[in-house]
Amino acid sequence: MRGHVIKNSLKLLFGALLLIISLFPVYWLFVMAVQPSENLKTPCLYPAAFTADNFISLFAESGFLQPLKNSVIITLISLLFSLTFGLAAAYILARRRFSNRWKSGLSFYILIIRILPPVAFTIPLYTMFNRTGTLKTLFPMIMACILINLPMIIWFILGFFRQLPEEVEESAMIDGATEWQLYCRIVLPLVLPGIAAVAMLSFMSAWNEYTYSIIFVQSPQKYTIPLALAALNSEDNLTNFGLVSAAGLISMLPAALFVIFAQNYLIAGLSSGAVKD
């Protein structure tokens, strides 16, 4: 009984420590964001005064709303497509019954794409989008995010599909289910936790995409959040840490909301009970 108490309090301590380390830098952003800039020179563990100025000027003067909109559009559209395509591709690659002599070659190719540094793609892609006249739209950015996320989704979900015993599908097939029904009704629900996790990851990388955007984005109307953030940080001026912190906090919000949403989905997937017996 005493051992149990010690174990629990150790656990509590460990959890608290983990949380402090994880959250302190974010808390610090908050402290910097809500204080008037005079206070920032002499740091204190909690805000000495509160102001909303940084947030107001972020939207009123720095026009943060448009980048926010663009980032949401780019992220959601690219997520939709990369998830749909990624899951489909991974399923085909994972199942032995869809035999194909190209398969190992394709797996290898996808891995290569994931490995290649973006540096290797940006310039030729720029010329490609330029020639097709799509450079002034959000299309190149959406495609870039799909390019980043698709290989990751395929590789990630592949592991989940491979873990599912093929017998489940075979028995369903004997019951007369078509491939399509099998995929939608039986296989996908079983990997829901995986889907939720990979959706979170893809959301993050699309939301934070910087390398491609800096080359592809041609007009201020098409700015994304990371670009707007980077523009706030300039070498020749004193950095306005209050403003940067406020922007940093806001840049985190949609992702946090998404995670909370996907978290519930993850729970639903788990409680469907098919995976855990």
Partner 1 sequence: MKAEGRITTASGNRRRFATAMAAPPFVILAVMTAYPLIFTVLYSFTNFQLLRKTVKFVGLKNYIKLFTNEYFLQSIGVTVKFTVFAVLFEVAVGFIMALFVESIHRERTAKILRVLLLVPYLLPSVTVALSWRMMLSPNYGIINRTLEALRLPVYNWFSDLHTALPMLILIDIWQNAPFVFLLLYAAMQSVPQSQYEAARMDGASYVQQVRFITVPGIAPVLALCALLRTIDSFRIFDKVNLLTGGGPANSTTTITQYLYAYGIKNLKFGFGSAGAIIMTLIVLVLSCLYIKKAVK
Partner 2 sequence: MKMKKVTALVLSGMLAAGVLAGCGSSDGAAAPAASADTQSAPAKAPAAASTEAAAESTSQASEGGEVKGDGQTLTLALRSGTYADVIKDCLPDFESKYNAKTEVLELSEDDLHSKVALDASNSDGSYDLAMVDGSWMAEYTENGVLLPLSDYGYELDDDIIPATTTICYSDDKLYLAPYYGNVTVLLYNKQLAADADYDSGDKIASLDDIKKIADSAKAAGKKGFIYRGDTPNNTVVDFLPVLLSYGGWVIDENNQPTVNTDEFKKAMDFYKELVATGEAQEKDDLIASVDQGNGALGVGWPGWYTPTADTTADYCAITGAVEAGGETHNANVYGVWTLGVPANSQNKELAVELVKYLMDKDVQLSTIDNGGVPCRYSSLQNADVLARYPQYKVVCQALEGGVYRPVISQWTDFYTILGTEMGNILNDQKTTEEGLADAQSQLEELMSE
Q: Please, which of residues 135-164 interact with partner 2 by CB under 8 A?
A: 136
Residue 247 sits in the site that holds partner 1 (CB under 8 A)? yes
Residues 6-25 that bind partner 2 (CB under 8 A): none
Judged by CB under 8 A, the number of residues near partner 2 is 22
The answer to whether 172 contacts partner 1 (rule: CB under 8 A) is no
Q: Which CB, 149 or 213, lies closer to partner 2?
A: 213
**Inter-residue contact 223 to 70 (CB < 8 Å):** yes
218 belongs to the binding site for partner 1 (CB under 8 A): no
Give least dist CB 27 to partner 2, A: 20
Coil, strand or helix at 125:
helix
Q: Segment contacting partner 1 (CB under 8 A): 49-57, 62-70, 72-80, 265-273? A: 265-273
Nearest partner of 270 among 165, 192, 171, 211, judged by Cα: 192
**Under the criterion CB under 8 A, does residue 186 sit at the interface with partner 1?**
no
Nearest alpha-carbon partner for 56 in 42, 79, 36: 36
Angstrom distance (rounded) from CA 31 to CA 37: 11
Provide DSSP, 204-243.
Answer: HHHHT--HHHHHH--SGGG--HHHHHHHH--TTS---HHH
Which residue lies nearer to partner 1 by CB, 2 or 276?
A: 276
Residue 132 contacts partner 2 per CB under 8 A: no
Helix (H) or strand (E) holding 189: helix 188-190
> C-alpha angle with apex 124: 120 to 127, nearest 5 degrees?
155
Among 77, 162, 168, 188, binds partner 1 (CB under 8 A): 162
Residue 25 binding partner 1, by CB under 8 A: yes
The site map against partner 1 for 70-89 (x = CB under 8 A) is ---------------xx-xx
Q: Which of 9, 171, 218, 264 binds partner 2 (CB under 8 A)?
A: 218
Q: Does 130 bind partner 2 (CB under 8 A)?
A: yes
Decide: helix, strand or coil at residue 171: helix
Angle at 81 between CA 73 and CA 142, to 5 degrees: 45
What's the distance, Cα to Cα, between the start and end of the chain in Å? 29
Find all residues with CB under 8 Å of 148, minimum gap 6, and list them: 118, 205, 206, 209, 212
236, interface contact from partner 2, partner 1, none, CB < 5-8 Å by kind: partner 2
Q: Shortest approach of partner 1 to residue 124 CB, angstroms?
A: 4
From the list 2, 4, 41, 276, which residue makes contact with partner 2 (rule: CB under 8 A)?
41
Using CB under 8 A, pick the residue from 64, 156, 216, 223 that binds partner 1: 156
Instruction: Write out the residues near partner 2 by the rule CB under 8 A.
Output: 41, 126-127, 130, 136, 214-215, 218-221, 230-239, 241
